[in-house]
């Protein structure tokens, strides 16, 4: 049982001009090789990884607090522009380990889609600067950069939420976000 850190003091952080949260206590960099098999076009994935290239897909800059329900984690995500075949760069996507935990996103830079899934249902929320997007309890969520600039957003979620990446790694996600004839297409997919 994790309890709140009663010695916590108030603090201020800054989101810098490229979207980095400073200071951060955890920084994650996800490269394409760490998302093996998540994009539909395996040939395009192999091509993108050929010759030792391994594109940086996204960065998460987080300030950690106690993993307690009443605490709140805050992070920024910088999702770089790019595609694998015709599929836009995206995050791995996750459920919260504690399923009934919500999350709030706030768009800071660039353009994207928040795609969500639950029990066969699928939803998408377009995001841009000034948009607040709500991930309700129980919904898997993934973000996608549909533009040509970095897509940057702030996220806040309960301290005890945790991340379950494994379910999406094995079961896939029911939407793909593609570029078709110069347009952004959110497509229902088999997995």
Q: At 137, is the secondary structure helix, strand, or coil?
A: coil
> Smallest distance from the beta carbon of 34 to its own copies, in angstroms?
26
Task: Using DSSP bridges, classify how beta strands 56-63 and 26-31 pair: parallel, antiparallel or unpaired.
Answer: antiparallel
Residue 91: closest CA among 82, 103, 104: 82
Judged by CB under 8 A, which stretch of 27-35, 124-132, 144-152, 175-183 contacts its own copies? 124-132
Q: At 26, is the secondary structure helix, strand, or coil?
A: strand
Of the residues 41, 49, 63, 164, which one makes contact with its own copies according to CB under 8 A = 63
Name residue 121's beta-bridge partners: 118
For residue 135, the tally of other CB atoms under 10 A from its CB is: 20
Largest Cα separation within the chain, whole Å, is 55
Rg, C-alpha atoms of the chain: 17
Judged by CB under 8 A, which stretch of 27-35, 46-54, 119-127, 178-186 contacts its own copies? 119-127
156 forms part of the interface with its own copies (CB under 8 A) = yes
110 forms part of the interface with its own copies (CB under 8 A) = no
Judged by CB under 8 A, which stretch of 34-42, 87-95, 151-159, 170-178 contacts its own copies? 151-159
> Smallest distance from the beta carbon of 92 to its own copies, in angstroms?
18
Six token digits for residue 13: 């952080």
Of the residues 38, 40, 57, 127, which one makes contact with its own copies according to CB under 8 A = 127
Judged by CB under 8 A, which stretch of 6-14, 33-41, 164-172, 173-181 contacts its own copies? 6-14
184 forms part of the interface with its own copies (CB under 8 A) = no
Of the residues 44, 62, 67, 71, which one makes contact with its own copies according to CB under 8 A = 71
33 in Cβ contact with 92 (< 8 Å) = no
Cα–Cα distance between 122 and 134 in angstroms, integer?
14
Six token digits for residue 128: 């841009």
Of the residues 37, 52, 130, 190, which one makes contact with its own copies according to CB under 8 A = 130
165 forms part of the interface with its own copies (CB under 8 A) = no
61 forms part of the interface with its own copies (CB under 8 A) = no
Six token digits for residue 85: 């075949």
139 forms part of the interface with its own copies (CB under 8 A) = yes
């Amino acid at each position: 049982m994790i309890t709140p850190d009663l010695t916590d003091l108030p603090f201020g952080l800054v989101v810098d001009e490229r979207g980095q949260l400073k200071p951060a206590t955890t920084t994650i960099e996800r490269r394409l090789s760490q998302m093996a098999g998540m994009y539909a076009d395996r040939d395009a994935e192999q091509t993108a990884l050929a010759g030792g290239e391994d594109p940086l897909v996204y960065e998460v800059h987080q300030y950690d607090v106690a993993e307690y329900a009443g605490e709140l984690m805050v992070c920024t995500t910088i999702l770089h522009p790019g595609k694998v075949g015709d599929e836009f760069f995206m995050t791995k996507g996750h459920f919260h380990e504690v399923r009934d935990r919500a999350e709030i996103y706030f768009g800071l830079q660039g353009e994207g889609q928040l795609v969500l899934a639950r029990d066969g249902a699928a939803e998408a929320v377009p995001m841009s600067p000034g948009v607040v997007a709500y991930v309700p309890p129980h919904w898997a969520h993934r973000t996608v950069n549909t533009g040509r600039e970095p897509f940057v957003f702030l996220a806040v979620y309960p301290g005890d939420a945790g991340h379950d990446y494994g379910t999406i790694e094995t079961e896939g996600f029911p939407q793909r976000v593609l570029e078709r004839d110069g347009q952004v297409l959110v497509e229902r997919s088999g997995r």
